[in-house]
Chains A and B, each alone.
Chain A
Amino acid sequence: MNTAPSSPERQALLRFRRNRWAVAGLIFLLLATVLSVFVPWMLAIDPNQGSDSPFTAPDGRHWMGTDIHGRDLFSRVMIGTRISLMVGAVGAGVSLIIGVGWGLVAGWRGGRTDAWMMRSVDVLYALPTVVWVMLTLTLFETRCVGWLSERWPSSIPAFRLAAMMVSLGSVSWLTMARVVRAQVLSLRERPFILAAQSIGVPPVRLMLRHLLPNLVGVILVYLTLTVPAVVLYESFLSFLGLGIRPPQASLGSLIADGASQLNPVRVRWWLLVFPAGLMALLLAALNGVGEGLRSALEPREGDGD
């Protein structure tokens, strides 16, 4: 170590770059994003287009083989990855907005408002989240799908995806709200906030200009931990057949398809191994980036090794 870097941001960046898992994860994520967006488009193979050669083993033409309807598994896996990443990003975004808003207001207002807001977080914590996602999805199916199919039937898959992203986001904001509130409670008593208050800065401006910049670190850390959780939930739901509906594909539903083709007579391993492997890599990368950010932004003793 020759010259000590000056700003905390630079130090954090250095710590992050020294974490091999995190850097590899970040590269993988960028690659997966670019590939899953551009490859299906470049290949010009429709991932939902069937052919009369089902269950082809991987070869030069179909890199990951074909499925029961003769659809190219490679392009389906790419589409599935795209959906997983998109659900992760949007779901985490929804949880970010609700969680930060809730935590900011509760921590800032304090008193009875705070007590009620946090009590409701406690109650929501106690509910099994998966069950609640299923309930809200049922609600969407019964209330909105019928209405949509009368007016705009072609948009149903898109709305279904949106409903899933929103409902996943709306159950994953609880920890974010708690963390933000705790941080606001401690910031509120600091001299610079008192100073800003005493010169008459209006509350909204105070929150946005003085509180929020001091919260960016914790928010970022919990956000990166929320993304893999949401990705996992989506795949879990799609695996059970509750999320993405056929013919659309997500990594979870592809794994379920692969699992349903498992039988002792003919082992079609490619249908399972490719989507499952990609899911594992994706989760490893997301968690690696999250952990790397956490130890870069909240350094503790012993994290530096």
Chain B
Amino acid sequence: MKSWQARLALIPVLVWVVATLSFFLLRAVPGGPFDRERASASREVEAALKARYHWDEPLWRQYLRYLGNVIRGDLGPSLKYRNHSVNDLLGQTVPVSLTLGAMAFGVAMGLGLPLGTLAALRHGGWADHAASLLTLVGVCVPVFVLGPLLILILGLGLGWLPVALWGSWKTAILPTLTLGIYFAARVARWMREGMLEVLKSPHVQAARAKGLSETAVILRHVVPVALVPVISYTGPMLADLLSGSFVVENLFQIPGTGAFFINSFFSRDYTMMMGMVLFYSVLLQVLNWMSDLLLRWVDPRIRS
């Protein structure tokens, strides 16, 4: 495994690759986004518009300009929301999405870890059955199936919870559950498998033999070791959490980054798309890197 410094150094390289790829894939499309709307008022207006967005320069200069702006942290103007910059829009939407993501992550861990632990300790008991049921849900009921079903049952059938928008804490319950349950299922499964594996290992027997109480054995010697696979799976899970948040924001009409990203796809808002792609790539990298750091801290074998 690479050192954490090397992985940190990879992030700027990645930003460069993403910026380059998305620039040439999208910006190099024949014709500009201004062509298709309607015939411009006049040649002068069109020229002025192109000059304002530097669309009249050769491609390589546009590329260098974009790269320079990205390094300075400026993602450019949005082509659809003419009065806003991409930074602006990200600034408004990212807090919403991060709140949703963090709460769902909390549900995934808060539900998955205890359930997985209990399932392993009471092998064959009710917690084990509950965990396998949850795992089954996690395997075959993806977010875009679970969300509408939860709306149908909890929101409309029983009338307990509001089913859309983003405001009071009540509106956050269904989206958080939708996103969280799916991932809680995976966490419970990894935790259960990890625990079962560790419970068999000799160091647990040694801990019991020296007379530690069962609680101490579990908390000190089993759980920390069983957490290692869970943490190492967290990185890939976060990527899926991200795509799940697209669905949830779309379904519950939450004004988050995912919803804007989908919209930028439909309105061919190229600068917005590039900005979002960059943002998501960096976010994913940083989160992956953090889970890697955590792994090193928990598992001394990796550090050496």
Chain B residues with Cβ below 8 Å from A127 are 14, 18, 281, 284
Contact check: which of A128, A269, A284 meets B136 at CB < 8 Å?
A: A284
Given known contacts A240-B262, A283-B139, A252 and B144 CB-to-CB distance under 8 angstroms: yes
In the complex the two chains form, is A134's CB within 8 Å of B148's CB? no
Complex Cα gap A258–B145 (Å): 10
Return the CB mask of A209-248 against B: 1 if under 8 Å, else 0.
0000000000000000000000010011001111000000
In the complex the two chains form, is B251's CB within 8 Å of A259's CB? yes
Chain B residues with Cβ below 8 Å from A259 are 144, 147-148, 151, 251
Contact check: which of B10, B139, B262, B284 meets A284 at CB < 8 Å?
A: B139
Q: Which of A34-42, A65-73, A135-143, A180-188 contacts B (4 or more CB under 8 A)?
A: A135-143
Return the CB mask of B133-171 against A: 1 if under 8 Å, else 0.
000100111101101110110011101000100000000
Contacting residues of chain B (205-258) with chain A, CB-CB under 8 angstroms = 239, 242-243, 246-247, 250-251
In the complex the two chains form, is B262's CB within 8 Å of A269's CB? no
Contact check: which of B142, B152, B281, B284 meets A272 at CB < 8 Å?
A: B152
Return the CB mask of A118-154 against B: 1 if under 8 Å, else 0.
0000110011111100111011001100000000000
Complex Cα gap A72–B171 (Å): 34
Complex Cα gap A256–B148 (Å): 8
Any chain B CB within 8 A of the CB of A115?
no
Complex Cα gap A168–B163 (Å): 32
In the complex the two chains form, is B280's CB within 8 Å of A142's CB? no
Any chain A CB within 8 A of the CB of B22?
yes
In the complex the two chains form, is B17's CB within 8 Å of A123's CB? yes
In the complex the two chains form, is B277's CB within 8 Å of A240's CB? no
Any chain B CB within 8 A of the CB of A165?
no
Closest to B148 in A: A259
Chain B residues with Cβ below 8 Å from A255 are 144-145, 148
In the complex the two chains form, is A131's CB within 8 Å of B14's CB? no
In the complex the two chains form, is B288's CB within 8 Å of A126's CB? yes
Any chain B CB within 8 A of the CB of A199?
no
User: Smallest Cβ distance from A238 to chain B, in angstroms?
Assistant: 9
Q: Which of A7-15, A51-59, A101-109, A273-281 contacts B (4 or more CB under 8 A)?
A: A273-281
Any chain A CB within 8 A of the CB of B268?
yes
Chain B residues with Cβ below 8 Å from A263 are 156
Complex Cα gap A123–B242 (Å): 18
In the complex the two chains form, is A276's CB within 8 Å of B285's CB? no
In the complex the two chains form, is A276's CB within 8 Å of B145's CB? yes
Complex Cα gap A122–B6 (Å): 13
Complex Cα gap A262–B157 (Å): 11
Complex Cα gap A276–B152 (Å): 12
Chain A residues with Cβ below 8 Å from B280 are 128, 131
Contacting residues of chain B (253-289) with chain A, CB-CB under 8 angstroms = 261-262, 265-266, 268, 273, 276-277, 280-281, 284-285, 288
In the complex the two chains form, is A262's CB within 8 Å of B163's CB? yes
Any chain B CB within 8 A of the CB of A287?
yes
Chain B residues with Cβ below 8 Å from A252 are 144
User: Smallest Cβ distance from A36 to chain B, in angstroms?
Assistant: 18
In the complex the two chains form, is B262's CB within 8 Å of A128's CB? no
In the complex the two chains form, is B273's CB within 8 Å of A138's CB? yes
Any chain B CB within 8 A of the CB of A264?
yes
Return the CB mask of B1-35 against A: 1 if under 8 Å, else 0.
00000000010011001100110011001100000
Any chain B CB within 8 A of the CB of A1?
no
In the complex the two chains form, is A276's CB within 8 Å of B247's CB? no
Complex Cα gap A264–B157 (Å): 9
In the complex the two chains form, is A135's CB within 8 Å of B139's CB? no
Given known contacts A128-B239, A129-B239, A284 and B246 CB-to-CB distance under 8 angstroms: no
Closest to A265 in B: B156
In the complex the two chains form, is A239's CB within 8 Å of B140's CB? no
Complex Cα gap A172–B141 (Å): 21
Complex Cα gap A269–B155 (Å): 13
Any chain B CB within 8 A of the CB of A4?
no
In the complex the two chains form, is A236's CB within 8 Å of B243's CB? yes
Contact check: which of A126, A131, A135 meets B285 at CB < 8 Å?
A: A126
In the complex the two chains form, is B243's CB within 8 Å of A130's CB? yes
Given known contacts A135-B26, A279-B145, A284 and B140 CB-to-CB distance under 8 angstroms: yes
Complex Cα gap A129–B243 (Å): 9
> Which residues of B does A touch, CB under 8 Å?
10, 13-14, 17-18, 21-22, 25-26, 29-30, 136, 139-142, 144-145, 147-149, 151-152, 155-157, 159, 163, 239, 242-243, 246-247, 250-251, 261-262, 265-266, 268, 273, 276-277, 280-281, 284-285, 288
14 other contacts beyond A134-B261, A262-B156, A262-B163, with CB at 8 A cut-off?
Answer: A123-B17, A126-B10, A131-B261, A131-B281, A142-B268, A143-B29, A236-B144, A240-B262, A259-B151, A262-B152, A269-B152, A272-B149, A283-B140, A284-B136
CB-defined A-B contacts under 8 Å, sample of 18: A123-B13, A126-B10, A126-B288, A129-B239, A130-B242, A131-B276, A135-B25, A236-B144, A236-B243, A240-B250, A241-B262, A256-B144, A258-B148, A259-B151, A267-B157, A276-B149, A283-B140, A284-B136
> Which residues of A does B touch, CB under 8 Å?
122-123, 126-131, 134-136, 138-139, 142-143, 232, 235-236, 239-242, 252, 255-256, 258-259, 262-264, 267, 269, 272-273, 276, 279-281, 283-284, 287
Q: Give the 9 A-B residue pairs with the shortest CB-CB distance, closest first.
A: A284-B140, A259-B148, A283-B140, A130-B243, A239-B144, A280-B140, A276-B145, A142-B29, A128-B280
